[in-house]
Structure 1
């Protein structure tokens, strides 16, 4: 190749070739692939911020010409410059150019110490393998948590369907009981009217035969006695009416005190017919303590003397008992329907994944206090002395619009002394188990809890960039 040149000329050619190799090496050092287009060999170099044009041979010449440091990507000349660590087999990243050739190995491929005397080793392969193992382990753990989440979602869907079916069944039972109530109320009224009519006819016959109604008159039914005592016909008997109409059996001239009248009415100052039958009517029938003024005898004794009246009274009592039994059943079903509707009205997440938390409570002891979180219900604090303080009742989800189900708000707890009402914010975090992990009070009477649960886990959008071995 150099046979036709003098020895001096050959030395010059070799020097030029070596210099061009050095320039090319200097040119691409500290540059990522996405920026190589700015450093193509030209006569001039335009600073990347567009502020200045310089000769291309001033790139990576260890002197800072550009304000943005773009002319010295491979040296420490520019205070604002950056050096790109390629780090094949690991994660590429930038370091400040001030760390280039400073005697400390910042890039795992040792590319930042190309002029220093520091013996840097290429550790990218080991770091990459270690990170990939960590990512794979995290992926397995996340996969298990997401599997548990899916199971809880499926459980929530089944529970929701069961509750909906239960609500429909209860509604049908409620409708049937309502029909029965209507029929039984009519039957009870009819039976009582029949018994009252028989009693009135019997009393009338006795009054006519004896021609002495005062000495032989006996009130025939709770309804007729109730009507007689209800002086103002307002559908109730008051303490005043009891005092005016009744007297002690042993001393009819003695007036009942207000306390005695209240006691006869079961502790009330006013009773309706149904309550009258449970209280005062019982006292009148026994005849042990009080009687109607000017009357002798025990109310209701006609039923024991006349078989027809006795049968009618028995039928009326049975109708009342049947009505009471169905009324109790209807009230029970009504309460169950109300509770179910309230439970189904709660927002349990887009896939009802949080439904399994309903009716559960989680505790955590912090110093001398035991904190208890009952999702969708309340938060409490129990002291060592056993005093329980409300830290808030279920309010709403309080997360940001992109993830509203990551926070729960509990509000309107017990007020603090000379402070605000207690409130609690519950942060939901991803975990394999569902448990209360921490409780803090960052400000007075404002609490923050962490509830760990698989249903708060989200699929990883992307893993950290890890280069494969090249």
Structure 2
């Protein structure tokens, strides 16, 4: 009880002292560390209620170096509360708020020195000097914004003109697309009609061709049976209709490795596990493998080694031309769009038919159908190209170029910055890259993402994200801080954190005279 009474007595004494130390810069009485705007909340004539409304205490407890309020509002002028706020009046310069924990800590945080009142002479009042410097800087920025705003107005005019032109172009493209789709539909109808007539005219030729193929296949099959039968009968020495192991072993052609005998492995190669082979089995299994060996033996077929040698002896210029043609064809295949893809099998056959000898009327139909297909392909490509242009314009119209399109003309413009090691290249609304001066390829530091400024300063920060991944790390990102300047240029590029880059950019598009005037009006100088 005695200690408690003593503590409250000290509170009262502190309050009396505090009353005599009220800031002399204002006629409005308020405790130390309280701003003029909050003076009415600290009335000596009534009890003080904490800002969070949880506690009401005698006013004598305010600034008594004892924290009574959870929000620290009862100790603005002492360091008793960790979450308290001390207000620096800083007459002649900008007022500021600092954490009350910095009060009387031996460091001069307020330019007027009021935060170190325990030792008044330790902090000289530098507010007038700082105020003059701040006012000079504010004037410089005001003049810069004023001059830059004139350029910005031109950018706004050009940006809106560009937007209007894109809108007009989009409307024209929509109209062109409608017309192109009509032409495409007409060309497709003509193509389908002519292809129907073409197919009907070619039906007779195709049927005849199919019959010819079947006839040739049958002839080849019969010849195969004939050749195989002749050889079978030649090998079947006892003419019993079966080839035995003994009969096979004396036939040199079955000696694959030419060691003078037909061993078990070679026999199984041709006949498997069968001990006796009849004509049917010989034709189906052994003959396809045996025929090339017989042809080699008779000089009608060259072994693989001789064939390769023959190829090597081919004229070098011919080979070079063939390879060159293959490369060109491969390159064309890689670069072709959908409209240039190979025709469907049936359509390809129709193109091949163009080279065959048809009667005059049929050839005319084939030519007309071929031309119709070409015209339809062209019409189809035209629709796709218009669609692509429409999508590009729509994408640009959806981009946020600022409240008045002031950044629109910068889209696609690239700016470079060099330091000791790298060359940085920023293409506005597209990407930012880094390249070593010692050579090597570009490294993507981010692709255009969004504006990242806070609240009413949205257009002061650009975010470029999803760059090339760092080694064992995240994808690179870059933050571009936008400042007012009479020309668009990069001032600096740094990497404050691994894989996170920061660039400083000036541009007239960021110069707003109204904003600079508003800041000058609200700064407490």
- Which residue of structure 1 aligns with residue 27 of structure 2? 34
Q: State the Cα distance separating 1:150 from its structure 2 match.
A: 1.7
* Change beyond 3 A, Cα 1:368–1:312: same
Distance in 2 between the 1:426 and 1:172 partners?
Answer: 40
- Which residue of structure 1 aligns with residue 343 of structure 2? 274
- Which residue of structure 2 aligns with residue 329 of structure 1? 382
Q: State the Cα distance separating 1:199 from its structure 2 match.
A: 3.8
- Which residue of structure 1 aligns with residue 369 of structure 2? 316
Query: Normalized against structure 1, the TM-score is what?
Result: 0.55
Q: How does 1:51-200 map to 2 (within 5 A)?
A: 94=112, 96=114, 138-200=141-203
Between 1:155-164 and 1:309-318, the stretch displaced more is: 309-318
Q: How does 1:279-428 map to 2 (within 5 A)?
A: 300-303=356-359, 306=360, 308-383=361-436, 384-428=438-482
Q: CA RMSD in A?
A: 4.9
* Change beyond 3 A, Cα 1:213–1:420: closer
- Which residue of structure 2 aligns with residue 115 of structure 1? none
Work out whether residues 453 and 460 of structure 2, in 8 Å CA contact, stay in contact via their aligned partners in 1.
yes
Work out whether residues 148 and 454 of structure 1, in 8 Å CA contact, stay in contact via their aligned partners in 2.
yes
Work out whether residues 99 and 106 of structure 1, in 8 Å CA contact, stay in contact via their aligned partners in 2.
no
* Change beyond 3 A, Cα 1:465–1:313: closer
More strand by share: 1
Work out whether residues 112 and 125 of structure 2, in 8 Å CA contact, stay in contact via their aligned partners in 1.
no
* Change beyond 3 A, Cα 1:357–1:91: closer
Distance in 1 between the 2:89 and 2:477 partners?
Answer: 50
Q: State the Cα distance separating 1:413 from its structure 2 match.
A: 1.4
Distance in 2 between the 1:446 and 1:107 partners?
Answer: 37
Q: State the Cα distance separating 1:189 from its structure 2 match.
A: 1.0
Q: Alignment partner of 1:380: what SS? A: strand
Q: State the Cα distance separating 1:447 from its structure 2 match.
A: 0.8
Pairing 1:463–2:520 present: yes
Choose which of 493, 498, 502 in structure 2 pairs with 1:448. 502
- Which residue of structure 2 aligns with residue 45 of structure 1? none
Q: State the Cα distance separating 1:35 from its structure 2 match.
A: 4.4
Q: State the Cα distance separating 1:412 from its structure 2 match.
A: 1.6
Distance in 1 between the 2:88 and 2:406 partners?
Answer: 48
Pairing 1:439–2:432 present: no
- Which residue of structure 2 aligns with residue 72 of structure 1? none
* Change beyond 3 A, Cα 1:176–1:284: closer
Q: Alignment partner of 1:372: what SS? A: strand
Q: State the Cα distance separating 1:177 from its structure 2 match.
A: 0.7
Q: State the Cα distance separating 1:367 from its structure 2 match.
A: 1.7
Distance in 2 between the 1:86 and 1:423 partners?
Answer: 42
Work out whether residues 382 and 388 of structure 1, in 8 Å CA contact, stay in contact via their aligned partners in 2.
yes
Query: Normalized against structure 2, the TM-score is what?
Result: 0.50
* Change beyond 3 A, Cα 1:312–1:84: closer
Distance in 2 between the 1:86 and 1:390 partners?
Answer: 49
Distance in 1 between the 2:342 and 2:145 partners?
Answer: 68
Distance in 2 between the 1:427 and 1:342 partners?
Answer: 24
Q: State the Cα distance separating 1:183 from its structure 2 match.
A: 1.1
Distance in 1 between the 2:431 and 2:349 partners?
Answer: 45
Work out whether residues 132 and 466 of structure 1, in 8 Å CA contact, stay in contact via their aligned partners in 2.
no
Q: State the Cα distance separating 1:402 from its structure 2 match.
A: 2.8
Work out whether residues 83 and 100 of structure 1, in 8 Å CA contact, stay in contact via their aligned partners in 2.
no
Work out whether residues 174 and 330 of structure 1, in 8 Å CA contact, stay in contact via their aligned partners in 2.
yes
* Change beyond 3 A, Cα 1:101–1:277: closer
Work out whether residues 31 and 83 of structure 1, in 8 Å CA contact, stay in contact via their aligned partners in 2.
no
Q: Which runs of 5+ in 2 are unaligned?
A: 1-19, 32-41, 46-61, 64-77, 80-86, 96-110, 216-300, 302-325, 334-340
- Which residue of structure 1 aligns with residue 14 of structure 2? none
